[in-house]
Structure 1
Amino acid sequence: MIPEDLIKATRPMVQFDGLSLDVLDPGAQAAFWQAALGGGALRQEGPGRLRIDRIPRRPDAEILRLRQVRNLPPDGARVHVDLRLATQEPHALADAGAKLVRSPGDEPWYVLADPEGNEFCAFPTVDDRPPGVFELVVKCESARDLARWWSVVLGGRVEEEGAAVSVIGAPEFPWDFMVFDPVPDPRPVRNRLHWHVTLRDETPKDLIAYGARLISGPDTDEDGWLLEDPEGNRFHARAAGRV
């Protein structure tokens, strides 16, 4: 039998389990993001809670939960997705309700906002790679430190490209990169977009010992514990084996 300490040393602390977006109107936001993501089954998870998953020909963990809230904090896009377009221009996203924030210029991508003002980046097609989300971007003060922290938590390895630092190859992470992009200022308000993980163990004690901060939980619903990483990015963690 493999010793438990060795198993923990060679397995990530958690598995990535999709994203969660705070919204005012779950139905309208679901319609937009189904179009933006290229489909996906929609199901009710509870009052004011919808979930988009099982997107055709996409990774299993490409999940988007929509959680209704009464008030939204300002959106500074501190956490956002980047996606590849199927064409050179984002006409399909505009038709679905996206607003143009910035056209390509010195930076060769569009910045768009969904109907509730959540910004994301859209890259014109340049090769035969499929359209859709390809990275999750986290703006933070210390990109190297936070990337290394999440590489231990999720697995994978760290790669640097200029000032940005990425985690790649994490088991169950659905996209090419989890990018940590340095910015000079601390995060002023909570992120609208955050993520979920499934714990290796029954409680998040190892995560807390490693530097995560417990905010609340466990909840009675599937969200489990609410935690923050060392720079205050919130994420939900549920116990191993819980569906």
Structure 2
Amino acid sequence: MNTRLVNVVVDAARPRGLADFWAALLGWSVAAENPDEVDVRAPETDGWDLDLVFVPVPEAKEVKNRIHLDLASETLSHQAELVSRAVELGGSRVDVGQGAVPWVVLADPEGNEFCVLEPRERYARTGAVASIVVDAHDPERMAGFWARITGRPIGARDDEGLVGLRAPAGRGPWLEFLRNDDVKSVKNRVHLDIAPLAGFDHAEAVAEVEAAGAAPADLGGPALPWRVLMDPEGNEFCVLTPR
């Protein structure tokens, strides 16, 4: 299939403020800003080849996000530095029922959960973001669907019910599906964008993604040049125009 992962998109009450938080925390930069979105981009040396996009929405955050970022650390002191920096920038520690674990669960200034991991060999070459984590009732099914539409191979499984897709270049964040029985109740505030490669037909790409197991998502609003779909567990995502 000729589609690939291109963006992680976050709904925000104040997109520029949230973009500034994440840029400062990760050591990245705000690359573009307009009334519809603010884009944060990593340096080429990081390995993250996506955009982190913040878009304005009027709705307030209601429930724990089903998609979150895990940040990588090189040493325990580096982990502590990242936690301290996040809190200084306006983040906060949160309890989502994690108990006594070696990673730290935080929230950004608008309440979006993320984790700062202790050093782990699997994430030694990912760059600042270790993984994009998606809650899933059936991680194997979800990983199979997303592997097909992003071209990312399955590269990890563990006893906790996690299935991970590796970045094709071997560097950059994993896309991981973690077993979680919570029921989706509202539109996700964090979603993924995929896009066909330049030169491919958008309508054909959408049809292929639907044939792989996606369903149309009717969110209302004006007609858009991209298509909003749902994965097999109802998570919204966009198929953008070729690029």
| TM-score bucket (shorter structure) | 0.7 to 0.9
How well do the aligned residues superpose, as a CA RMSD in angstroms? 2.6
1:132-191 CA-partner distances (Å, limit 9, x unpaired): 111010001111111111111112332321132323334369634211111123212121
- Cα deviation code 1:199-227 (max 9, x no counterpart): 2542201111221112258614xxx1111
Report the CA distance shift for 1:43/1:156 in structure 2 as closer, same or farther (over 3 A).
closer
Q: Could you say which residue in structure 2 is the equivalent of 1:26?
A: 15
5+ unaligned residues in a row in structure 1: which ranges?
1-11
1:1-243 equivalences under 5 Å are 12-44=1-33, 46-55=34-43, 57-59=45-47, 61-85=49-73, 87-89=78-80, 90-102=83-95, 106-125=100-119, 129=124, 132-158=128-154, 159-171=156-168, 175-200=172-197, 201-202=200-201, 203=203, 204-215=206-217, 219-220=224-225, 224-241=226-243
Deviations 1:42-85 (A, max 9, x none): 311x3141111143522352311110001134231210000024
Contact 1:195 1:235 in 2 (8 A): yes
What TM-score comes out, normalization by structure 1 length? 0.82
Displacement, 1:240? 2.1
Question: 1:73–1:174: structure 2 CA closer, same or farther, 3 Å change rule?
Answer: farther
Scaled by the length of structure 2, what TM-score is found?
0.82
- What secondary structure sits across from 1:88 in the alignment? helix
CA 1:138–1:157: 2 relative to 1, 3 Å: same
**CA shift in 2, pair 1:207/1:80, >3 Å:** same
Q: Compute the displacement of 1:197 (Å).
A: 0.8
Give runs of ≥4 in structure 1 deviating > 6 Å: none
Conservation of the 8 A alpha-carbon contact between 1:141 and 1:182: yes
Measured at CA, do residues 19 and 105 of structure 1 come closer, stay the same or move farther in structure 2, by a change above 3 Å? same
Matches of 2:102 and 2:231 in 1, distance apart?
Answer: 31
Q: What is the identity, as a one-letter code, of the residue corresponding to 1:63?
A: D
